[in-house]
Amino acid sequence: MDLDLTPTQEALRQSAERFARERVEPWSAVIDEGGEFPTDLIREAGALGLMGLTVPEDWGGGGHDYVGYALALEAIARASATVAVILSVNNSLVAETIARFGSPAQKKRWLRALATGTAVGAFALSEEHAGTDAQNQQTRATPVAGSAERYMVTGKKVWVANAEAADAAIVFAALAPPSESSALPPPSATSSWLPPSPFDPSASSGSSRAQSRDDAAQGAPSMSRGAGGRQPDGARYLQAGLLILDTLFDPSGPYLSTSPSHQGLLLHSIYHRPGGWDHVPSGARTPRGESSQWGDYHAREAALYVQRLACDGPYLMFCGDRARATT
Structural domains of the chain, ranges and CATH numbers in brackets: 7-120 (1.10.540.10), 215-310 (no CATH)
DSSP-H helix ranges across 92-163? 96-101, 104-106, 112-116
- Between CA 301 and CA 215 the distance in angstroms is 10
More confident site: 18 or 326: 18
Q: What is the pLDDT of residues 162-192, one digit of tens each?
A: 888 889 888 888 876 654 555 655 544 333 3
- Between CA 64 and CA 214 the distance in angstroms is 36
Per DSSP, 324 falls in state: P
Residue 231 has pLDDT above 60, yes or no: no
- Between CA 52 and CA 251 the distance in angstroms is 52
Q: What is the pLDDT of residues 87-106, one digit of tens each?
A: 999 999 999 999 998 888 88
Residue 278 neighbours by CB distance under 10 Å? 18
Residue 227 has pLDDT above 80, yes or no: no
State the pLDDT at residue 274. 54
State the pLDDT at residue 86. 95
Strand partners, 266: 256
Closest by CA position to 204, among listed 286, 87, 126, 300: 87
* 184 HSE (CA, 13 A, CB side): 27
The values of phi and psi at residue 257, to 5°, are -80, 120
Residue 176 CA, chain-centre distance (Å), reads: 27
Element (H, E) at 141: strand 140-143
Q: What is the pLDDT of residues 271-315, one digit of tens each?
A: 665 566 777 888 776 677 888 877 888 888 888 888 888 888 876
